[in-house]
């Protein structure tokens, strides 16, 4: 058998001299631009990519197995450790899924606070993406700016619940903590400052000839391909599909606020960049609307200390910064879930990598992995 | 649901709503045809998720679960298909290419074979790993001791 053949690759079009100039290059698992431990096997003709295969699982911890051996509440902190740069969003999805299973609903005040924190988390996640993505491509400056603003958000999280990354901010049924004195003020101050900051990033990158050259027309994904491959989140919207779960199937308090769903036209790396930039502005808009009027009232629904959801199952999905994160929870009527399945956006978006890199150069792989915005902790779970 | 019933009759074993979410239990023999119909005629063009649940006490222990979404209708639908321990389930990679990695994960974790999958092999665990961790009879502390000893050079990963 030809040594260079990657097992299981779907047949690639024959090159002029089949196999003669082909080399196989392993990228990762210890490669700085893979944002964790991802190994990509590239099949190259010169510098052109003919095919690729991802090897994942280096961070597999068996989260879904652990869930079956914990109570519903005990499992909640574990979900923070999947997409560890967007822990708040993960927690919201899980808590709402279990609430739906119980037939409970968080009180209005809790839902608004959840919305604010989740949108701040979206901005924080996009900031980290922007900084590292620009760094991968060679723009050194944005990462400092992005981390500076992200720090402000993490400070708000820390003041609210004591943790910066793996926050465990929400509880099943509502919130554990009341907001601290000055919460609205902190969020407002951040939002007021942030408007000019996004413009600043755009000034650095949007018209930058190197940036445009490295991202325009790279990693094309049209809307049919994106839907067929199950791609969700900003990559789907950049391909021109105007779909956001916050609008399509509102959860938390999103139905009360006005915001736009930005979309792209070409489905390339540049469009995905623009979509995420606009999403940060929209998230800021939601936060500003939400802090204007946080309803008074309880922060916890009456769910009881021991949770025993009636037998049955529920699939609940929310719009995480990276795409649709879904929880399929099956209950057998005991205090422990019978099965928890996490639908991880990073895992499924990563599947599109092969389609996106074909025909491009090795250097573009770095840009394309960056633009997918994956977190390996979530890919491998 | 009614339309599915009319079209496929007995192949739709059960159909019900749980917490306002619709689901259909379908016959494995007609699984692909029903999947195609769901995609093309009922416009469920996004496969959100594909996974399985292990019910060791049932006659057919595995239940393969698909979460579908329709952009046109803004609706979700859950398709289920039962499979015995040594029974293969028809692959839906031809219907939704997104199923590729999800079916591999399902095979990796449960040992369910998807017939017609282009490249069915483990995805998260090492290729040589023995056992299927998400089965109910696989203990949470259990692991492939031989693999751990050989590849990591330690007695136990715990």
8 Å CB contact of B96 and A324: no
**C-alpha angle A360-A364-A366 in degrees, rounded to nearest 5:** 140
Q: ω before A253 within 30° of 0 (cis)? A: no
| In the predicted structure, residue B44 carries a pLDDT above the cut 80 | yes
Do B100 and B55 belong to one domain? Answer: yes
Do B90 and B36 belong to one domain? Answer: yes
Q: Which domain holds residue B93?
A: 2-120
Q: How confident is the model at residue B154, as a pLDDT?
A: 75
Which of B51, B79, B121 best probes binding to A when mutated, by most A CB atoms within 10 angstroms? B51
8 Å CB contact of B49 and A101: no
Chain B contact set for A103 (CB, 8 A): 19
Q: What is the number of domains present in chain B?
A: 2
* Token representation of residue B143: 């692991």
Instruction: Give residues 10 to 29 of B whose Cβ lies within 8 Å of A.
Output: 18-19, 21
Of B42 and B102, more confident = B102
Q: List the single residue in A57, A69, A315 with the smallest CB-CB distance to B21.
A: A315
Do B116 and B131 belong to one domain? Answer: no
Do B79 and B157 belong to one domain? Answer: no
- B71 and chain A: CB distance < 8 Å anywhere? yes
Do B20 and B73 belong to one domain? Answer: yes
Do B50 and B116 belong to one domain? Answer: yes
8 Å CB contact of B19 and A100: yes
Which of B24, B69, B139 best probes binding to A when mutated, by most A CB atoms within 10 angstroms? B69
Do B112 and B137 belong to one domain? Answer: no
Q: What would you report as the CA-atom Rg of chain B, rounded to the nearest whole angstrom?
A: 17
Q: List the single residue in B18, B47, B125 with the smallest CB-CB distance to A230.
A: B47
Q: List the single residue in A9, A66, A326 with the smallest CB-CB distance to B48.
A: A326
Do B16 and B65 belong to one domain? Answer: yes
CATH number at residue B94: 3.30.460.80
Lowest mean pLDDT among A11-15, A247-251, B25-29, B66-70: A11-15
Q: List the single residue in B53, B98, B140 with the smallest CB-CB distance to A348.
A: B98
Q: How confident is the model at residue A5, as a pLDDT?
A: 40
In the Cβ-directed half-sphere of A133, how many Cα atoms lie within 13 Å? 28
Chain A contact set for B78 (CB, 8 A): 315
* Distance, CA of A136 to CA of B122 (rounded, Å): 30
Chain A: residue whose CA lies nearest to B106: A341
8 Å CB contact of B124 and A103: no
Q: List the single residue in A10, A230, A314 with the smallest CB-CB distance to B48.
A: A230
pTM of the model: 0.85
pLDDT by residue for chain A (381 residues), tens only, comes to: 343 444 444 444 544 445 667 888 888 777 777 777 888 888 888 888 888 888 888 888 888 989 988 999 889 899 988 888 889 999 999 999 999 888 888 899 999 999 999 999 999 999 999 998 998 888 888 899 999 999 999 999 999 988 888 888 888 888 888 888 889 899 999 999 898 999 988 888 888 888 898 888 888 888 888 999 989 999 999 998 989 999 888 888 888 898 989 998 888 899 999 999 999 999 999 999 998 888 888 888 888 888 888 888 899 999 999 999 999 999 988 889 999 999 999 999 999 888 888 888 888 888 888 888 888 888 888
Do B68 and B8 belong to one domain? Answer: yes
Chain A contact set for B45 (CB, 8 A): 227-228
8 Å CB contact of A343 and B49: yes
* Distance, CA of A77 to CA of A94 (rounded, Å): 10
Do B33 and B103 belong to one domain? Answer: yes
Do B10 and B56 belong to one domain? Answer: yes
* Distance, CA of A255 to CA of B21 (rounded, Å): 20
- B140 and chain A: CB distance < 8 Å anywhere? yes
Q: Which residues contact A175 (CB under 8 A, 6 or more apart)?
A: A106, A110, A113, A114, A169, A299, A300
Do B86 and B136 belong to one domain? Answer: no
């Amino acid at each position: 058998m030809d040594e260079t053949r990657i097992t299981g690759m779907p047949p690639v079009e024959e090159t002029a001299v089949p196999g003669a100039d082909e080399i196989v290059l392993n990228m990762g698992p210890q490669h700085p631009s893979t944002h964790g431990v991802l190994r990509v096997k590239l099949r190259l003709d010169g510098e052109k990519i003919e095919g690729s295969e991802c090897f994942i699982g280096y961070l597999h911890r068996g989260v879904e197995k652990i869930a079956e051996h914990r109570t519903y509440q005990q499992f909640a902190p574990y979900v923070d450790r999947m997409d560890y740069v967007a822990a708040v969003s993960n927690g919201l999805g899980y808590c709402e899924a279990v609430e739906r299973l119980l037939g409970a609903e968080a009180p209005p005040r809790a839902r608004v606070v959840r919305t604010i924190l989740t949108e701040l988390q979206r901005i924080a996640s996009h900031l980290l993406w922007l900084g590292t993505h620009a760094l991968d491509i060679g723009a050194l400056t944005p990462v400092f700016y992005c981390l500076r603003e992200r720090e402000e958000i993490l400070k708000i999280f820390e003041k609210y619940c004591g943790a910066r990354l793996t926050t465990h901010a929400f509880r099943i049924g509502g919130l554990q903590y009341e907001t601290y004195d000055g919460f609205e003020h902190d969020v407002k101050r951040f939002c007021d400052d942030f408007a000019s900051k996004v413009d600043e990033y755009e000034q650095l990158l949007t018209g930058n000839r190197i940036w445009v050259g490295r991202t325009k027309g790279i990693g094309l994904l049209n809307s049919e391909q994106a839907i067929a491959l199950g791609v969700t989140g900003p990559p789907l919207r950049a391909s021109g599909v105007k779909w956001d779960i916050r609008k399509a199937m509102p959860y938390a308090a999103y139905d009360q606020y006005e915001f736009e769903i930005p979309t792209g036209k070409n489905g390339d790396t540049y469009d995905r960049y623009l979509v995420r930039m606009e999403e940060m502005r929209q998230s800021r808009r939601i936060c500003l609307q939400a802090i204007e009027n946080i309803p008074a009232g309880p922060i916890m629904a009456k769910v009881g200390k021991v949770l025993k959801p009636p037998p049955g199952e529920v699939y609940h999905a929310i719009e995480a910064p990276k795409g649709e994160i879904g929880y399929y929870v099956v209950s057998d009527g005991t205090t422990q879930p019978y099965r928890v399945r996490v639908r991880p956006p990073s895992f499924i978006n990563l599947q599109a990598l092969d389609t996106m890199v074909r025909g491009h150069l090795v250097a573009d792989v770095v840009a394309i992995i960056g633009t997918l915005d994956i977190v390996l902790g979530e890919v491998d779970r | 649901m009614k339309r599915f019933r009319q079209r496929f009759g007995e192949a739709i074993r059960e159909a019900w709503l749980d917490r306002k979410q619709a689901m259909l239990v379908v016959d494995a023999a007609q699984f692909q045809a029903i999947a195609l119909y769901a995609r093309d005629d009922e416009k469920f063009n996004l496969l959100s998720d594909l996974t399985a649940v292990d019910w060791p006490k049932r006659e057919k222990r595995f239940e393969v679960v698909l979460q579908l979404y329709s952009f046109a209708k803004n609706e979700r639908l859950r398709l289920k298909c039962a499979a015995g321990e040594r029974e293969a389930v028809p692959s839906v990679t031809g219907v939704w290419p997104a199923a590729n990695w999800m079916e591999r994960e399902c095979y990796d974790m449960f040992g369910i074979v998807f017939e017609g999958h282009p490249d069915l092999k483990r995805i998260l665990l090492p290729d040589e790993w023995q056992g299927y961790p998400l089965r109910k009879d696989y203990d949470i502390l259990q692991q492939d001791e031989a693999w751990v000893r050989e590849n990591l050079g330690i007695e136990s990963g715990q």
